[in-house]
Amino acid sequence: MSTGRKTVKRRKFLKIGLAASASGLLISCGRTGGGPHWRFFTEEEARTVDAICEQIIPADDFPGASQAGVVNFIDLQLTRHYKKHRAAYRKGVANVEAVSRETFGKRFTELEPQQQIEVLTTIEEKDPAFFALIRNHTMQGYYGDPRHGGNREWVSWKMLALASPPVRGRARLDKESRVS
Amino acid sequence: MALKHVNAVVVGSGAGGGVVAKELATAGLSVVLLERGKSYSAADCRKDDLRNQRTTVLGNAFGPDDERNPRVLVDEKGRERIVLASEGGYSNNAACVGGGTFSYGAMAWRFMEQDFRMKSIYGAVEGSTLEDWPITYFDLEPYYEKAEWEMGVSGDDSGNPFKAPRRKPLPMPPLPPNREFEILEPAAKRLGLHPFHIPMLRNSVPYNGRGACMRCRWCVGFACEVDARTGTHNSVIPMALATGNCELRTECMVSEVMVDDHGRARGVVYFDENDRRQEQTADLIIICCGAIESARLLLNSKSKLFPNGLGNRYDWVGRNLQGHTYSGAVGLFDFDTYDDVGPGAQIAICDYNHGNPGLVGGAMLANEFIRLPYHVVNYAPAYVPSWGLAHKEWMRNAFKRTIVVIGPTQEIPIFDARVQVDPKVKDHWGIPVARLSGGKHPHTMEIAHAMTQKAEAWLKEAGARRTWRRQPSPGLSGGQHQAGTCRMGNDPKTSVVDKYCRIHDVDNVYVVDGGVHVTNGGFNPVLTILAIAYYASDNLIKTWKNTKGRV
C-alpha cells in the first residue's frame, strides 16, 4: 500500500468521521472508515453487518464488536479466505433487513437494541446457517489476531487480561498479511 | 532425463518417513525422501491464532492447501460432499517436512502392553474388527527407547504404575509444573489416582544442540519458534541428510507405485514442484504418507497384476480407519487456574486406560494445552447463550478460571470406516482423491461417555464450582491421529502388511506410519509410529544386508 493512497484515505476518513458525528451516527470505521471503501460490502450492508456484530458482542465496560472493527475483519476476509461465503452474506444480510422491516417496519440499524436482538433471535431460528456463519466470524474478528482486520488494538485480549501482542518470546508478527 | 536409480524411495517425511530415511541412509543405502509439502523452520512461527494447524478457520498454515487437495466425505446418511483441507471433516494432518510432527503438541506416549492385545484381553466385539497386533509391546520396547533418547523426550512417568516396563528412564526431566498441574495433582491423589508428568518430545533442558522450551502460548498448531519441540524435521531428517546418502525433495506429489510384470515394484511416479511428471526408480519403496494418504496411494497404484490397487487383494486397504474420540469435561473455578504458561498440558493419569468394568479399553486423561481466546469461545456450557452480553461476560469471567481435562479414547475399529479413492473427483494433479466414509462403533461412544464422567469427577474434586462435559462426536475419526488403514497382521487375508510392515503382496513395498496400527491405544500415537519406524528399519536393513541388496 503506497503512502499516497493512505493519505487520501485518511482525508476521507476524517470527512466521514465528521459527517458521522454530525448526523449523530456512530459507525464502525474499519480500516479506512465506513463509506465507499469497503472491499465487498455496500455501505448499507456494512452498517447492517456492523450492527449485527455489535449485538453478537455488545459493548459493556469493554468495547464491543463495532469498536473492535469486526465488520472490517469480515469485509476483508470476504476478499480472501471467505470468498466462498460472499453469496451467503449478500443473501443473509438482505434477509435480516427483510425480517426487520416485516417485524418493525424499519431498517435494522434504526431499531432499538432490544428489537435488534429480537430480529436476530428470529434469524437464529429461521436462517441458522447464516446466523452461525456471522456469529462465528464475529467471534473470530473480535477474539482473533488484529492482523486479519479485527480486534482493533487487541481490545479483546486486553479484556481477558492477556499480554498482547505476545510477550513471551520474540514478537514476530507476519508483516505481509498484517492489516494496518 | 531419467532420474538416478536409488536403493530406497521414501514417500512422506513425517514421523514414519523421517525415521526410515535416516536409518536407511545411515546404513549406507542411497535414499530419496519425497515430501508433498514445503520445508518450514522456526522462523515460520507466525503466531496467527486463526490460521495454524489447530485453528484453521483462515486456512492451514503448514498444508495441505485448500486449492489443490480436496477430499470427498460421505456422512452417516450417505450424503457426499467435497471437503477442503482446512474444513472440518477433512481429517487433516500437516503436509510439510516433518509432517504432523512439525506443529503438533508432542505428547510422547508408549502404548501399554494391553494395547497390543486388545482381542485377547477383551474378546471379540460384535460389529468390530478388533484384533491383536502380530507384535507385542516387548518387540517395540527397545525402539521406544531409541526414539526417546535419539529424538529427546522430557517428562517423568515414574509415578505411573500402569505403564509398561521400561529399561531406561526418560532422558530429560519434566518442565516445572504449571498452575493447572498444581491444582489437579492433589485432587487426583485424593481420588486414589496416579497423576504424573506427561512425556513430551520437547526439550525441557538443552538437548541435541537445541535449546529448552520457553513456555510460550503458541505451541500446538504452530511452529516452535525456539526449536525446542522435536519433530523429524529438526532431528532425524537433518541426520539423514548429513550422511550424504539421502536427498530430500519437497513439493513432490506421488501419484502411484510402478509395478513390473513380475509383481515387483520398480519405483514411484510423482509430480515435482513445477508439476512435471517424474519417475523415481528404487529397489525399495517405503510409503509413509499417513493412514489416509498411504491407503490412497496404494489404491491408486493399479496394474494388470493388481487391478484393485497394491496390497488390496482381499479388500483391506483403507479399512478400519480410526483416530481418537476426544472426550472430557470443562470445570469452572472460583479462582484463577490459568497462568498462561505453555505448553499447558502437563499432568496425566492412565488409571482409566484399561480395567474399566464393562468397557473395552479407555483413555489417558490430561489437562488441555494452552488456550487462545478464540479456542474458548465454544467452551461455554449449554446454560450460557452462544452470543450477546451473557456470552461476552462469560468469556471474561471464565477465560482464566477454567480447566479442561480431556483424553483420546481408544476406538473400537470397524471395517466400514474407510478410505477409498473417489471415482470422479481428482486433485490438482489429476489423481483420484481420498473418499472417507463410515462412522464409529457404538461401544466407542460408550467408552467416550464414561471418560467424560471420569474427567468431570477429577475436576469436581479439584474444586470446580461447575463442570460440564465435552460431548464426543459420533462422526468418522481420523485427523492427526489417523490410523488403521493398512493393518499389520500375519494373515494376508485379514491384513495389509506383515509384522515388519512389508505389504503381503509385494516383496519390496513397505508401509510405515499410523496406517499399520491394528488398534490405536488410548494415547497420542506419535511415539508408537516413531518406534515402529525404527523397528521396521532395523528389519529392512538386516534383510538388505542378507540379500546384498536383492531384497
Q: Write the DSSP string, B69-100.
A: --EEEE-TTS-EEEE-TTSTTS-----BTTGG
Q: Do A56 and B59 touch (CB under 8 A)?
A: no
Number of A:B CB contacts under 8 A? Answer: 91
- Chain A residue closest in CA terms to B59: A81
Q: How far apart, in whole angstroms, are the C-alpha atoms of residue B98 and residue B95?
A: 8
- Chain A residue closest in CA terms to B216: A168
Q: Do A170 and B392 touch (CB under 8 A)?
A: no
pLDDT in tens, B416-441: 999 999 999 999 999 999 999 999 99
pLDDT in tens, B272-323: 999 999 999 999 999 999 999 999 999 999 999 999 999 999 999 999 999 9
Secondary element (H or E) of residue B213: none
Instruction: Nearest by CB to B47, from A120, A139, A172: name it.
Output: A172
pLDDT of residue A22: 35
- How close is the nearest chain B Cα to the Cα of A153, in Å? 15
- How close is the nearest chain B Cα to the Cα of A11, in Å? 31
In chain A, residues with a C-beta closer than 8 Å to the C-beta of B216 are: 166, 168-169
Q: Using the predicted structure, report yes or no on whether residue A35 has a pLDDT greater than 80.
A: no
Q: How far apart, in whole angstroms, are the C-alpha atoms of residue B363 and residue B356?
A: 10
pLDDT of residue B434: 98
Q: Does A154 touch chain B (CB under 8 A)?
A: no
Binning chain A into helix, strand and coil, the percentages to the nearest 5 are: 60, 0, 40
Q: Does B46 touch chain A (CB under 8 A)?
A: yes
What residue ranges of chain B have pLDDT lower than 70?
1, 548-551
- Using an 8 Å Cβ cutoff, are B101 and B18 in contact? yes
Q: Do A140 and B374 touch (CB under 8 A)?
A: yes
Amino acid at position B502, single letter: R
Residue B37: closest CA among B2, B56, B11, B57:
B11
C-alpha cell at A23: 448526523
Instruction: Nearest by CB to A58, from B340, B374, B388: name it.
Output: B388
Q: How far apart, in whole angstroms, are the C-alpha atoms of residue B444 and residue B503?
A: 29
pLDDT of residue A20: 38
pLDDT of residue B1: 62
pLDDT of residue A12: 41
Q: Does B338 touch chain A (CB under 8 A)?
A: no
- Using an 8 Å Cβ cutoff, are A37 and A109 in contact? no
Q: Using the predicted structure, report yes or no on whether residue A167 has a pLDDT greater than 90.
A: no
In chain A, residues with a C-beta closer than 8 Å to the C-beta of B392 are: 57-58, 60, 62, 64
Backbone φ and ψ for B106, nearest 5 degrees, come out as 80, 20
Q: How far apart, in whole angstroms, are the C-alpha atoms of residue B443 and residue B122?
A: 13
Q: How far apart, in whole angstroms, are the C-alpha atoms of residue B287 and residue B293?
A: 9
Q: Does A175 touch chain B (CB under 8 A)?
A: no
Q: Do B374 and A144 touch (CB under 8 A)?
A: yes
Q: State the virtual CA torsion across A146, A147, A150, A152 in degrees, nearest 10.
A: 40
What are the structural domain ranges in chain B?
1-54+94-104+109-152+231-322+483-551, 160-229+325-409+441-474
In chain B, residues with a C-beta closer than 8 Å to the C-beta of A166 are: 47, 216-218
Q: Report chain A's C-alpha Rg in angstroms.
A: 16
Sign of the torsion angle spanned by Cα atoms B283, B284, B289, B291: positive
Give residue for cell 492482523: A147
Cis peptide before B474 (omega within 30 of 0): no
Q: How far apart, in whole angstroms, are the C-alpha atoms of residue B140 and residue B6?
A: 29
pLDDT of residue A179: 42
How would you label B384-409 residue by residue, b for 16+ Cβ within 10 Å and e otherwise?
bebbbbebbebbbebbbbbbbbbbbb
Mean pLDDT of chain A: 81
Name which CATH class applies to B1-54+94-104+109-152+231-322+483-551: alpha beta
pLDDT of residue A16: 39
Confidence of residue A8 (pLDDT cuts 50, 70, 90): very low
Instruction: Nearest by CB to A81, from B49, B59, B396: name it.
Output: B59
Q: Does A59 touch chain B (CB under 8 A)?
A: no
pLDDT of residue A109: 98
Residues 6+ apart with CB under 8 A from A87: none
Q: Do B374 and A139 touch (CB under 8 A)?
A: yes
- How close is the nearest chain A Cα to the Cα of B184, in Å? 23
Tell me whether domains B1-54+94-104+109-152+231-322+483-551 and B160-229+325-409+441-474 share a fold.
Answer: no
Q: How far apart, in whole angstroms, are the C-alpha atoms of residue B117 and residue B134?
A: 9
- Chain A residue closest in CA terms to B47: A173
C-alpha cell at B378: 465454544
Confidence of residue A31 (pLDDT cuts 50, 70, 90): very low
- Using an 8 Å Cβ cutoff, are B110 and B69 in contact? no
Residue B96 sits at the vertex; the CA angle it makes with B92 and B97, to the nearest 5 degrees, is 135
Q: How far apart, in whole angstroms, are the C-alpha atoms of residue B35 and residue B24?
A: 17
Q: State the virtual CA torsion across A73, A75, A78, A79 in degrees, nearest 10.
A: -100
Residue B162: closest CA among B111, B238, B233, B100:
B111
pLDDT of residue B46: 86
Q: Do B391 and A156 touch (CB under 8 A)?
A: no
In chain B, residues with a C-beta closer than 8 Å to the C-beta of A64 are: 392
Q: Does B47 touch chain A (CB under 8 A)?
A: yes
Burial of A179 (0-12, 13-18, 19+ CB in 10 A): middle
pLDDT of residue A166: 61
- Return the CATH architecture of domain B160-229+325-409+441-474: 2-Layer Sandwich (3.30)
